[in-house]
Amino acid sequence: MIPTESMQSTIKHTIMAFTTMSIVACNNTTQYPMTRQDNTTDNYFGHIVADPYRWLENDTSAETQQWVREQNTVTRNYIDQIPFREQIVNRLTQLWHFERKSAPYKKGEYFFYSKNNGLQNQSIYYRTPSLSEEGEVILDPNKLSDNGTVALAEFSLSPDGKYLGYGIARNGSDWNEYFVRDLNTLTDMPDHLMWIKFSAIEWYNDGFFYSRYPQPAANNELTAENVDNAVYYHRLGTSQDEDKLIFADKQNPIHSFVPAVTDDKQLLVITVTESTTGNALYTLDLTNPKAEVKRTINSFDKDYIPLGHHNGKLIVQTNYQAPHYNIVAIDINNPDPQNWQIIVPESDDVIETANYGNNHIYINYMHDAHSQLVVANVETSDTTIVSMPAIGAVGSFAPSKGEDTVYFSLSSYISPMQIYAYSTSSKQVNKVEGWGANVDFPFADYETEQLFYTSTDGTQIPIFITHKKNIVLDGNNPVWLYGYGGFNISLTPAFEIRRLLWLEQGGIYAVANIRGGGEYGEEWHMAGTLQNKQNVFDDFIAAAQFLINQNYTNPSLMVCQGGSNGGLLIGATINQAPELFRVAFPQVGVMDMLRYHKFTIGRYWATDYGTADDSEEMFQYLLSYSPLHNIANRNYPSVLVTTADHDDRVVPAHSFKYAATLQNAYKGSRPMLIRIDSQAGHGAGKPTSKIIEEWADLYAFAFNELGIVFKQ
């Protein structure tokens, strides 16, 4: 049941002394598992660095698995004693139970979309000849496993809509397997492709292009470095060992490739990466059977995002000499930048995403971290600013071939996803009734404000703050501060159902758009990388200080959370400013900054971080903030580390070593726990049931440590 307004007024917490019947008391008697230390060391430019928990990097060893079981037992015993944890599960389950439909798009005779009834572990995929008709199921990922741990990772329809190429990920791993479904019979064909990561299914003639890695050695599938990627062509109905090699680069084994076929079927465009920043572009003329792959752009200094092919020229979104990005047309036979034609010039706002189709480019700009849509006609150079129905984050703004109408989603922190239709001819936007998400929650009682605060060096940083209207700024409100700060990734105001529980309990949710992200272009990103990385931590610490100084909260009621690169953010922040926070959630974090590049695709992150092998200066800088290497016996907040056994993006050894070091060094009374999920990975594709269980643990831990009793 949704609380009434009068009920919600009683939910506002009161700071008071609770009995042990209400709150699990923090004490210094938590018995952590004994974690063996050894004498492993590394020599960096003459500096000896101890790594006593190196053995935890072997995640398949019996000793490590026993350690995982023992840590999970301690954590479960602690969290399961919190008396309102099951009430939180029930409330999250109520909130999650809402139907949602994605934005539709058309292929051949059908519209395609996904739908979830609310509590299904994975969304189901449908097709329909008309948006007014109920769809037919074409793929139900929930039937791929009993517990929802097999997730859809790739979904690609053939141009005529007769075949579906789809990829699955098992247990949250980044490894994908590809299958093909005949949509006439709704049955799978014999095609089964393995050892694929970060690829795409790009249809051409009677098959598709994709990229894959060699099969890794047994028991090293989740930790071994991924090298020797190559592009192949797979013909429908054949086995993978018959696939034709299209391109490989043995001289550069660390390069990875993502193929794309232009809509006119004239070009295969291969995006070549060696890091998370910058890429090259190679092309293959598909109209010439004797053509070879051409290195069209062979520099990795900037981003070159292929959008399409028009009148013999490749349309590319790039930040080359345009930190906020522009869109250019490149003659692949004469690709020197001096010959590029600028189609959409750089502006004050950053281009977040762009799509090309039907002679138009559909552009999603970021204006102070929220979306503004613009449509550019390639033939006439005319541009249209789309009249947005609300401030928020846009998704799925992609055209269907030959269609005048483009469908897109729009959401915000306090507005669930709604679907809108934009007509290229009339230039009008209309809401598509019955699509999007329908959540039973009193959103009108809440508001989001965007403010700006000053960081350590004087830089103005935007922050979104969401809370119940007419909140009293008396310094006694619980605040949940979230951040990321890396890899040119922007935090835009998208809807997350999990956050509603915090808001209705009287909490404030704050998102800081710190440097390292892409909110203001390349300069903003680079200001949080390499030897500027400390700016990221300073910005986040300044956000916490701002919230305290403005009387939103106080340190005894402050929670901080971040995942992946954001886990690094939390780990570094609570080493540097532990006094600002009462609870910390470093999730699937990069915690060992000296060895991160030695696992799976970790080397890709070096453009943001640098590596300890680069130079003595870079080693010293990484060592100065590495979460693992700066743990001491200080007054830490209560910490719950989270990771998963199948995370092959940021391998769980980061969190294992971090938690072991924290438990050994900290001598205070607050819990230093780690939650290690099973049959799960970095986060993508995690089933709804697992998400609810994880967030119930996070909320129970947070409320308990803050001294707040959850109320229904």
Rounded to an integer, the average pLDDT of 542-556 is 98
Angle 38-77-498 (CA atoms, 0-180°, nearest 5)?
105
Task: Give the per-residue pLDDT at 16.
Answer: 27
Q: Which helix (H) or strand (E) covers residue 707, if one does?
A: none
Rounded to an integer, the average pLDDT of 287-303 is 94
Per-residue CA distances from 229 to 223, 253, 281, 297, 400 (Å) = 16, 7, 15, 19, 31
**Rounded CA separation 223/58 (Å):** 9
Rounded to an integer, the average pLDDT of 434-446 is 94
Q: Please, which pLDDT band fits residue 683 given cuts at 50, 70 and 90? A: low
Which residues have a catalytic role annotated? 564, 682
**Rounded CA separation 196/175 (Å):** 6
Percentage of residues of the chain with pLDDT beyond 70: 95
Q: Please, which pLDDT band fits residue 29 given cuts at 50, 70 and 90? A: low
Q: Is the pTM of this model over 0.85?
A: yes
Residues 6+ apart with CB under 8 A from 530: 608, 609, 610, 618, 621
Task: Give the amino acid at 424.
Answer: T
Q: Please, which pLDDT band fits residue 2 given cuts at 50, 70 and 90? A: very low
Residues 6+ apart with CB under 8 A from 185: none
The residues pairing with 367 across neighbouring beta strands, listed in sequence order, are 370
User: Would you give the end-to-end CA distance of the chain in angstroms?
Assistant: 9
Task: Give the per-residue pLDDT at 684.
Answer: 66
Rounded to an integer, the average pLDDT of 637-654 is 88
Task: Give the per-residue pLDDT at 147.
Answer: 79
Percentage of residues of the chain with pLDDT beyond 90: 83
